[in-house]
Amino acid sequence: MITDPWFYAAAVPAVFLVGLSKGGFGGSIAMLGIPLMSLVISPIQAAAIMLPILVVMDMVGLLSYRGLYDAQVLRIMVPGAIVGILVGYLTAAWVTADHVKLIVGCVALIFSLNFWLGKRMQAAARTNHVPSGLFWGAIAGFTSFVSHAGGPPYQMYTLPLKLEKRLFAGTAIIFFSAVNMVKLVPYFLLGQFSSTNLTTSAVLLPLAPVAILIGVWAVTKISQDLFYRITYSAVFVVSLKLIHDGLPSLWP
């Protein structure tokens, strides 16, 4: 188990933010989890510690949002995500977390700016589109595999659908529950579940249900318009953080 107090100073708020997002509040604030933990440990170890916690969070989230989901979104995006996870596993030796952070950060920045500058909230809701859903599902699966950063690619497809806020949250819970369960296999094959990582995950685990339930409560108390504005704002902040972290990968 990790005993460095500086690690827990970063990991406790990281797990809490991820839990809020898993509860349906704040959208992509979950992406801040790995960057926060990466301030004191490697991103690879941070991802390995976080994955078992994410799986438990998913179980709590599934109970909280049972029966609330868009089946068509899941039918389109989950197969794409499985392909993305497979690509991530096969390319794990060549693609670094910094590369993915930079790519995801740029996509998320364009996405959030398009919302604020293009007045996306006034646009009509889009309908499901299979090729787009498969593409963004694959990107979400790939980036989720590398650094649990599947939020912005997932939202690139789902936010323009303008689902009702609890339906949006419930669909996201099921999608990422499926993604995280599939990720367990390649993470195990890559030797990421050491005794140190697993015991550290267990120490942080009690924070998960508390944070999720707070997130579920917050969704019921906030208007749908404000909910989406908070989500897009979170995507913008996270995009800047990811770009900042990923820029060093462009040069030795």
Q: What is the mean pLDDT of the chain?
A: 85
> What's residue 26's pLDDT?
63
The phi-psi region of residue 143 (left if phi > 0; otherwise alpha if psi is between -120 and 50; otherwise beta) is alpha
Give domain limits for the chain. 5-250
Residues 6+ apart with CB under 8 A from 149: 31, 34, 100, 101, 104, 143, 242
Nearest partner of 10 among 61, 62, 55, 45, judged by Cα: 45
Q: Is the pLDDT of residue 29 over 80?
A: no
pTM of the model: 0.81
> What's residue 90's pLDDT?
94
The phi-psi region of residue 123 (left if phi > 0; otherwise alpha if psi is between -120 and 50; otherwise beta) is beta
- How far, in Å, CA of 129 to CA of 143, rounded? 21
Structure tokens at 176: 């990422």
